[in-house]
């Protein structure tokens, strides 16, 4: 059985996860939307990063606690109108993102993405060789 990580070890794994996630995401964002880790803000209870109307919490953990993580992202958004987002990855799994939105927001998103489906498919093809 694996030895549990120390607090420092968990914190370092989380920081590596944030760098990895933002590095992947930034490859596909225009310069004006690029994300960076918000160290001071995250230490004070804010999100790990924000851009394009999203407050992003990045989690690199084996045990999934999506409800807790979404609550944390929601608190970071703090009524700003930004979308709470949780990006997470378990060992040997790809990154996944959960965006919290209402059914009306989802309908608007679906209508918008109908027009960019080809772009999304193209991006997904280009990242298929990125590390998982």
Three-state SS at 16: helix
Contact between residue 97 and residue 24 where contact means Cβ atoms under 8 Å apart: no
Nearest to 22 by CA among 70, 52, 56: 56
Q: How many domains does the chain have?
A: 1
Q: Specify the pLDDT at position 117.
A: 62
The beta strand positions in the chain, using DSSP E, are 49-51, 54-59, 83-88, 96-99
Structure tokens at 6: 């120390």
Q: Is the dihedral of CA 118, 122, 123, 128 positive or negative?
A: positive
Asked whether residue 124 is domain-assigned, the answer is no
Asked whether residue 111 is domain-assigned, the answer is no
Asked whether residue 61 is domain-assigned, the answer is yes
Per-residue pLDDT of the chain (132 residues; tens, 9 = 90+): 555 567 677 778 888 888 898 888 888 877 766 665 555 454 555 667 666 678 889 999 999 999 999 999 988 888 778 889 999 999 999 999 999 988 998 888 888 777 666 666 777 777 765 655
Asked whether residue 91 is domain-assigned, the answer is yes
Asked whether residue 118 is domain-assigned, the answer is no
The CATH number covering residue 26 comes to 3.40.1350.10
Asked whether residue 129 is domain-assigned, the answer is no
Identify the domain containing residue 28 by its residue range. 7-101
Q: Specify the pLDDT at position 53.
A: 78
Structure tokens at 27: 């490859």
Q: Specify the pLDDT at position 122.
A: 73
Asked whether residue 43 is domain-assigned, the answer is yes
Asked whether residue 63 is domain-assigned, the answer is yes
């Amino acid at each position: 059985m694996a030895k549990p990580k120390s607090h420092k070890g968990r914190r370092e794994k989380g920081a590596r996860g944030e760098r990895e996630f933002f590095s992947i995401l930034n490859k596909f964002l225009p310069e004006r939307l690029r994300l960076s880790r918000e160290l001071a803000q995250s230490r004070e209870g804010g999100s790990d990063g924000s851009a394009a109307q999203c407050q992003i919490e990045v989690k690199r953990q084996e045990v999934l606690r999506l409800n807790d993580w979404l609550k944390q992202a929601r608190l970071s958004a703090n009524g700003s109108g930004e979308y709470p987002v949780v990006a997470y990855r378990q060992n040997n799994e790809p990154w996944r993102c959960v965006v919290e939105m209402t059914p009306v927001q989802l309908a608007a998103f679906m209508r918008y993405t109908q027009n960019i489906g080809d772009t999304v498919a193209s991006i997904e093809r280009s990242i298929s060789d990125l590390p998982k």
